[in-house]
Structure 1
């Protein structure tokens, strides 16, 4: 079988697997693995699988991710997220929509500490949604502010996305 036909069949199988709602990473793994088997041999595919897994797991860039998680847990447990939110509210809470803006700023600050968008949205959501509910903000605006602020985490260096 030629390399071009293996590539065409691989793409077709990938689309079929995706249409069957197989997770993207698993579908790409299966197509890539069996593509290498078709082009070379099972031994070379297994050897490549082992070497790539080891290389990825021993990557020095990935060491920072547990440290980010630890920092997020420390910030949450010590009440740093609450103080960050209070500081943002003190700065811009007096303007119209200030509480929603303070939520976005607080989420950005916490995301800079934890390096994670999801952790930022979850932690600040626990703090901000209660306050915004207390001031009779609409639930759609409250959750939208937390969601928008939470996604800032991936944009603020150092974040796990930049690592």
Structure 2
């Protein structure tokens, strides 16, 4: 399984447009090579570098029950039929990068699951992780960086 973005290469800077203080829309993503036995996909975008400044990993986007046939996720769009969880900004939405101190690395982690999840909109990343335990058939990661502006 592969996750890429036409907006930035793995490990490279995420364009300003996708930052919290700019357009605050999710970057476009391309999903490829999803296993045939996947029933749904889950996507988590977080900032592990926030532990140093915020004391915890900062969650930017938590999405599940994405159709495994989804090939492209357009900028500013949540995949049709997907459910969005609560980010660390307190909203059930995408919340872009906004590092307070220095350049941070952001992880876009995609999971192929053997089931759909019965979680309500606004559930947290921790609740998603608990629900998908023992259901992950494949996973992949794309990273990008963002520095304070």
Greater radius of gyration (CA): 1
TM-score range, shorter chain: under 0.3
Which structure exhibits the higher relative contact order, with contacts defined as CA atoms closer than 8 Å and separated by 6 or more residues? Answer: 2
Which structure has more strand as a fraction of its residues?
A: 2
